[in-house]
Amino acid sequence: MSTSSVPRPEPAAPSGPRRRPALARITRRPDPDGALPALALFAAVRLAGVLAVVLTNAHRGHPLVRNLAHSWDSRWYLHIATHGYGRLIWISPDGAVQTDWAFFPLYPGLIRALTALLPLTAGQAALLLAWAAAGAAAYGVYAVGHHLHGRGVATALVALWAVLPHAVELTIAYTESLFAALAAWSLYCVLRGRWLWAGSLAALAGLARPSGFAVAVAVALAAAHEALRRRGRVPAALWAGAVLAPLGWLGYVLWVGSRTDDLLGGYLKVQSAWDSRFDFGAGSLRFVKALLLHGGGFVYPAALVIVSAGVLLFALLCLERAPLALVVFAGVLVLLVIGASGSFSSKPRFLLPAFPLLIPMARALARTWRLRRARAVLVYAALTAVSLLFGAYVTAVVHSPL
């Protein structure tokens, strides 16, 4: 005889305060789970990228790893780490005086600190920091993806970020990996409502790269939106985080201004000598026109394709109605790439930290993995091959600015 219909006595009311069920504690776990396979895949792909560069150098008779730590901007960071600011200038072919004040201080400062603690050269310390930051960034990318869409999409997001055509620059002595790590974890803290951490990490991101203010803008606008949504009933930590966010970027810009006797405009003048200014896309239009009329090597058309893909992916991200902080962060980076002057061959790496652009693709890849696994493997293998070949080519073969 079934007893399902037999009335059962109500449990006695507890005499002390009620405890929350165990399930609530599980669902409120602070860290995303299941990250290890995604991080292992990221490490394997990027180590393969380093190996591709080394083998290309060996084939061409070049030093095997020197260009990983001593290419283009890397030399400036290493010189700042070793000798400090104000010790190196370069006269460009058109007579512009380029100084090391154009480079933000966090990365060279960390290099200097690491060489003081460990028996490493500046180049070795720079690579160690870049590789460690790349791993931290990949985990941050996973955390954001996991928070939004779960483990499958998070893994696909990290996998796609690892095989971007210009992802080789995550494993050379550049600031992209450090900036991406700080940005990813700051945005994750915004999504979790940890405003003090979000603002602090945004401030550090502002000390890493000129584009670091993109993180500050994302944090500040997300905080303002949250305050409006809750009609001002927000914790003080939200306002503190919003105030902290721009301080790193603003502090360095004002410091350069004080050194050049032009507090507000000094840094802009320093950047202008590097042909780096916001010209509302005039420089980009001139580049496209010259490319169409006169052609160019492989790197420049590829850069145009990558930037165009970034614009398309941003439109898809907006259509997906992603969280405001992610849209603002990615949008500011896309705007800077399109609207600022400078060498177009460098523009793809400026989009490298804009990982939210890959969220629509990651969702599609995760669906394909569930439904047609062989097709997903084939697509990913093709993307990996393109990334490894392109990375080795731009790092070890051509001489276009990275």
Express each pLDDT in 188-247 by its tens digit.
Answer: 999 999 999 999 999 999 999 999 999 999 999 999 999 999 998 999 999 999 999 999
Asked if 162 contacts 386 with a C-beta cutoff of 8 angstroms, the reply is: no
Q: Supply 83's token pair.
A: 């000798």
Confidence bin at 138 (pLDDT 50/70/90): very high
Cα torsion for 327, 332, 335, 337, to the nearest 10°? -110
Identify the DSSP state of 368. Answer: H
Distance CA 324, CA 223 (A): 10
Better pLDDT: 292 or 23? 292
For tokens 């804009």, name the residue: 354
- Taking the C-alpha atoms of residue 379 and residue 355, their distance in angstroms, rounded to an integer, is 19
Query: What is the CB neighbour count within 10 angstroms for residue 241?
Result: 28
Residue 22 in this model has a pLDDT that exceeds 60: no
Helical (H) or strand (E) element with 236:
helix 236-244
**Strands 89-91 and 97-99, sheet pairing:** antiparallel
For range 287-313, the mean pLDDT? 90
What CA–CA distance (Å, rounded) separates 307 from 288? 12
Confidence of residue 12 (pLDDT cuts 50, 70, 90): very low
The DSSP element (H or E) to which 91 belongs, if any, is: strand 89-91
Asked whether the predicted pLDDT for residue 35 surpasses 60, the reply is yes
Report yes or no: 92 and 98 within 8 Å, Cβ to Cβ: yes
The strand pairing partners of 91, in sequence order, are 97
- Tens digit of pLDDT for each residue in 110-130? 999 999 999 999 999 999 999
Q: Give the whole-angstrom CA distance, residue 128 versus residue 173.
A: 9
Please answer whether residues 205 and 186 qualify as being in contact, where contact means their C-beta atoms are separated by less than 8 angstroms: yes
Q: Give residue 31's pLDDT.
A: 67
Confidence band, pLDDT 50/70/90 cuts, at residue 399: confident
Q: Which of 365, 81, 78 is nearest to 67 (CA)?
A: 78
**Local confidence band at 296 (pLDDT 50, 70, 90 cut-offs):** confident
CB of 88 closer than 8 Å to CB of 100? yes
CA dist 161 and 364 (Å) reads 14
pTM, two decimal places: 0.89
pLDDT at residue 30 tops 90: no
Can you give the pLDDT at residue 293? 86
Amino acid 10: pLDDT: 39
Instruction: DSSP letter for 280, please.
Output: T
Burial tier of 6 (Cβ tally within 10 Å: 0-12, 13-18, 19+): exposed
d(CA 320, CA 316): 6
DSSP 8-state code for residue 118: S
With b meaning 16 or more CB within 10 Å and e meaning fewer, what string describes 249-261?
A: beebbebbbebbe
- Of 306, 275, 297, 304, give the one whose Cα is nearest residue 400: 297
Average pLDDT in the chain = 89
Q: Which of 127, 132, 99, 100 shows the shortest CA–CA distance to 115?
A: 127
CA proximity to 227, closest of 214, 241, 215: 241
DSSP label of 20: P
Secondary structure element (H or E) that encloses residue 99, with its range = strand 97-99
pLDDT tens-digit readout, 243-280:
999 999 999 999 999 998 899 888 999 998 888 888 88
